[in-house]
Homo-oligomer: A and B are copies of this chain.
Amino acid sequence: MSSEQADEETLHARAPFQVERVGAFIDAVAAIAMTLLILPLMESVGEVAGAGEDTLHWVGQHDQQLVSFVVSFVLIAMFWMIHHRMFRAVEAVTSPLMWILVGWLATIVWLPVATAISGAMDADDPWAKVLYVGSMIATSLFSLAIRLYLWRHPELHHAPSGSLNTGVAVDIAMAVLFAIALTLGLLIPRVGYYAMFVMLLT
């Protein structure tokens, strides 16, 4: 057996996951989380209809929920795109990498809950903002952890180091910007969710 073949067998034993199926699994979870964002809206429709009120009234009462839905939908889409561009260069998935990916997924699955909270609670409830923006900081940090793991294990991927460096910078910038948005949102109530939008523009 040549040394190259031996290397490949070792890699296979260390990286026992099929990259395509792991990618498809992550896509499925992100797609479901993105779609479950509508559940609080669907539930509230039943309640308003039961109370004999009309559509215009429902829209007026749920403007905060509607804004949360759009912001979270755009954010999950953005996180998925960032993940997708990184993951396409991955060629092998080890168990530690898989667990970091599961952590990333947990923050994505948590986002519909945080969205429901931020859509249901008073606009000046500080803990609603901490849970909502905090889960985005967590997503950015898990994304950073994935990239640092790849950076230390160059045999698992074919991403040029330049693109990894850029990605690390993007992840850190995201986490910092979300932290600033959270601070602003806590200091100046009723500004928080618009600050999210501002961030996306920059």
A interface residue numbers (CB < 8 A to B): 16-18, 21-25, 27-46, 48-49, 54-56, 58-59, 70, 73-74, 77, 80-81, 84-85, 88, 95, 98-99, 102, 105-106, 109-110, 112-113, 116-117, 120-122, 125-128, 130-131
Q: Give the docked Cα–Cα distance between A22 and B127 (Å).
A: 35
The chain B residue sitting closest to A76, CB to CB, is B102
Pairwise interchain contact A117-B29, C-beta atoms closer than 8 A: no
* Distance (whole angstroms) from the CB of A116 to the closest CB of chain B: 4
Main secondary structure of the interface of A (DSSP, over half): helix
Tell which of B23, B42, B121 touches A40, judged by Cβ atoms closer than 8 Å.
Answer: B42
Contacts of A127 in B (CB 8 A): 54-56, 59
Contacts of A56 in B (CB 8 A): 127
Pairwise interchain contact A84-B29, C-beta atoms closer than 8 A: no
Pairwise interchain contact A46-B43, C-beta atoms closer than 8 A: yes
Q: Give the docked Cα–Cα distance between A16 and B27 (Å).
A: 16
Q: Give the docked Cα–Cα distance between A18 and B83 (Å).
A: 12
